[in-house]
Structure 1
């Protein structure tokens, strides 16, 4: 089961590193009422396989009026990146059962992936109107608010989800990002720690917490978190760039340059790594 519906956007990742770089400038000069098994944000990536989609298509052939079958296949299409096919299946599921908050939340997530934020917001609102205790919908809507700069609305939705005793790590992770963005690093560290406890194999909480540690001047804990993030997934550019920040702050430009170079190899458009390499290349 994945912990986050999608990795942070490039804009979000640039913000993470930008926050840590600001500290370096002087030196550098669920618990829900619906079935979680059909919640796209919680379905394992493997469930987007052609084999699984084929199996779900066979189910639909046998029971063409079963809305959950379309919801499940839509989720699988979503995990496979087949967003238009996913939308068609969610539309069909909603036509068969217009009172499923889970299906609206799943369709909302696909709309968000496609950049259709207004449609996503409308679907999250509908999911919440059908089930005011649906934590996943609050968490999803909060992300739209957060990315559009509506931090107060995002915080309110995340706190609503947490008040509902959600076990979804995204609620704490994203609230941690809001605290981090406003400079409340101790609160951010506590939320990132909670997200890590709920999903210890996901690297994002470690990267987030590490940046707040770094902003507080706690290089050792920051370095430990960044290295853990790399150990969990060594294909994330931000983890290597974050590690490089610590090397750079310690004055080890050679190691910093190597880590920045690795980050750029993974994501040639990742500006914090590009800028960092320009500063540290010997």
Structure 2
């Protein structure tokens, strides 16, 4: 997260009657966020503002390339702009050209990997991230990108290794901590998860997702008050994420405030009519 951070999950029973069911819903809530993408970082496509995908900007980049047809950086930048504009085939073509001009252009490999990932070609994306790492073993962005692929494929040990490597390289990319936090959370290591989510928040305080993630771990530890604060902050930062509203609703439900819960569930359903935890929660609380 502009940025939309990778998200995920978790649980733990509490003392309130019915809380095991609620905790399970919280787990499903955040697991649905696991496929969201968080893209940050300097010269890479992951850090280019969405405005750079505008027709006006692409036109300017066309002029740059006409004046510098042998400049790999120009193709890398335009490829990134094409990627932001959703023009995946054009983006891949430009990254290919950049790599033909400079076979060691590791940023172009990482940018092409992101396009392949968005196209669902995870094998090629992983290969490109690995090639970027082979060229530059200090390149934190590639470890984070490949780690995200591993995490989404359920290869948590490999994902953890990549996030650990990025963190050991002193990355300032919040995704490394956020996603390591998700793995700790998946393993019910909630105190470690909270520490990582807090670091992610300090690095990227305008991102809603780490607040949702940290809130889930607070719930798992029985700390509904801090969880509620985090879910409310997540909504303030980005009120268009259905999971945030559903998570808030679950706390209301924990507290027996069914009318408020139903209102928040309804907002989540409005944002994402197919989001099952919100639909189920609304069915439980509507008219209660």
TM-score normalised by length of structure 1: 0.90
Gaps of 5+ in 1: 30-35
Report the equivalent of 1:236.
Answer: 241
How far residue 268 of structure 1 moved from its aligned partner, in angstroms, is 1.2
Report what 1:26 is aligned to. Answer: 18
- Following TM superposition, by how much is the alpha carbon of 1:38 offset from its aligned partner in structure 2, in angstroms? 2.5
Residues 202-245 of structure 1: CA distance to partner in whole angstroms, max 9, x if unpaired? 11111110111111111111111111111111111111111111
* Distance in 1 between residues matched to 2:53 and 2:170, nearest whole Å: 29
Distance 1:164 1:254, change over 3 A: same
Q: Structure 1 residues 173, 28: closer, same or farther in 2, change over 3 A? A: closer
Look up the SS of the partner of 2:59 in the other structure: helix
Distance (Å, rounded) in 1 between the aligned partners of 2:2 and 2:151: 18
Give the alignment's Cα RMSD to 1 decimal. 1.8
Q: Does 1:53 align with 2:45?
A: no
CA contact (8 A) 1:247 1:255 kept: yes
Q: Deviations over 1:7-56 (max 9, x none)?
A: 44xxx5xx53xx35976882375xxxxxx543011112222222221211
Which residue is 1:194 aligned to?
Answer: 199
Is the 8 Å Cα contact of residues 3 and 199 (structure 1) preserved in structure 2?
A: no
Q: Determine which of 117, 122, 126 is the counterpart of 2:127.
A: 122
Q: What is aligned with 1:159? A: 164
Secondary structure of the corresponding residue to residue 38 of structure 1: coil
Q: 1:273 to 1:215 in 2, by over 3 A?
A: same
**Any residues of structure 2 matched to 1:68-87 within 5 Å, and which?**
68-87=73-92
1:97: which partner in 2? 102
Q: Which deviates the most, 168-177 or 229-238?
A: 229-238
- After the TM superposition, which parts of structure 1 deviate over 6 Å for at least 4 consecutive aligned residues? none
Q: Is the 8 A contact 2:249 2:264 kept in 1?
A: yes
Measured in 2, the distance between the counterparts of 1:101 and 1:215 equals 40
For residues 237 and 94 of structure 2, the distance between their equivalents in structure 1, rounded to whole angstroms, comes to 34
Q: Retained in 2: the 8 A contact 1:3–1:168?
A: no
Q: Deviations over 1:168-207 (max 9, x none)?
A: 0000000000011111110000000000000001111111
Which residue is equivalent to 2:37? Answer: none
Retained in 1: the 8 A contact 2:215–2:227? yes
Aligned pairs, how many?
A: 267
CA distance in 1, matches of 2:89, 2:273: 28
| Distance in 1 separating the partners of 2:133 and 2:280 | 42
1:41 aligned partner: 46
- TM normalised by structure 2 equals 0.88
2: CA distance between counterparts of 1:151 and 1:28? 25
What secondary structure does 1:167 align onto? coil
Runs of 5+ consecutive residues of structure 2 not aligned to the other structure: 22-40
Aligned to 1:253: 258
Aligned residue in 1 for 2:32: none
Residue equivalent to 1:33: none
Cα gap change, 1:110 to 1:270, in 2 (>3 Å): same
Partner Cα separation in structure 2 for residue 77 and residue 270 of structure 1: 30
